[in-house]
Amino acid sequence: MCVKVIYPVILAVPETDRRLRGRDKVIRLSALARHAVWLSASQSGIKLGELIKSPEGVPLPVDAYFWSLAHKTEYVAGVVADFPIGIDIEKIRPCAPGLYRMTADEAEWKLGEAAGDLLFFRYWTAKEAVLKSVGIGLKALSKCRVIAVLDEHHLMLSYNHQEFDVEHFYFNGHIAAILAHPAIRWMVQDIPDHVVSGT
């Protein structure tokens, strides 16, 4: 089945789950993000089986469908596509100068009109989305480069001699990034009560 429209799903984390700490919080946010993946699949008419990761933590395709997820304290995200996909979300906030130097070099920063927290998180989320799509973590951050700022919603990146168009979506003080596709329909939802209760 060809996926004509991609539905990245962003779910607001319930207040009770935001207050969790440590491993309990990680487990809960991961479960909510997986729920977002299943919602994305459902919107595309795809029935996914179990979501399994490799020993290295890379999401493994399910019946030739690729999936990706992300989770932060306030929101989680998930997406399914019929090509390798990556998604990331971040809250836009002030960052230390050292993170700027770690994320991109001077030539990359010059591509943007003004270096600031928004541009930082555009670069960070875009790079993470690309690296997730190729199954490599942030250890390859410096090898993934921004090569063009196309507009306020699209960046062009390169990694391993391949170019990637990344789309950004802004919501409630946050930013999400996903590999671009001709038809993307972003969905931001509250989590239904039966999911909040864990049933």
How confident is the model over 18-52, as pLDDT tens digits?
Answer: 999 999 999 999 999 999 999 999 999 999 989 99
Per-residue confidence (pLDDT) for residue 138, from 0 to 100: 78
The answer, yes or no, to whether residue 70 has pLDDT greater than 50, is: yes
Beta strand ranges found along 18-86 (DSSP E)? 66-71, 75-81
Strand, helix or coil for residue 160:
coil
Per-residue confidence (pLDDT) for residue 196, from 0 to 100: 44
CB-based contacts of 82, cutoff 8 Å, min separation 6: 1, 2, 3, 64, 65, 66
Average confidence score pLDDT of the chain:
91
The answer, yes or no, to whether residue 134 has pLDDT greater than 80, is: yes
d(CA 85, CA 69): 10
How does residue 142 score in pLDDT terms, banded at 50, 70 and 90? confident
Residues composing the chain: 199
CB-based contacts of 44, cutoff 8 Å, min separation 6: 3, 5, 6, 7, 80
How does residue 79 score in pLDDT terms, banded at 50, 70 and 90? very high
Two structure tokens written together for 45: 């008419």
Kind plus residue range of the DSSP H or E element containing 27 = helix 22-43
Mean pLDDT within 115-129: 93
The answer, yes or no, to whether residue 199 has pLDDT greater than 50, is: no
Four-way CATH pick for 9-196: 3.60.110.10, 3.90.470.20, 3.30.420.40, 3.90.1150.10: 3.90.470.20
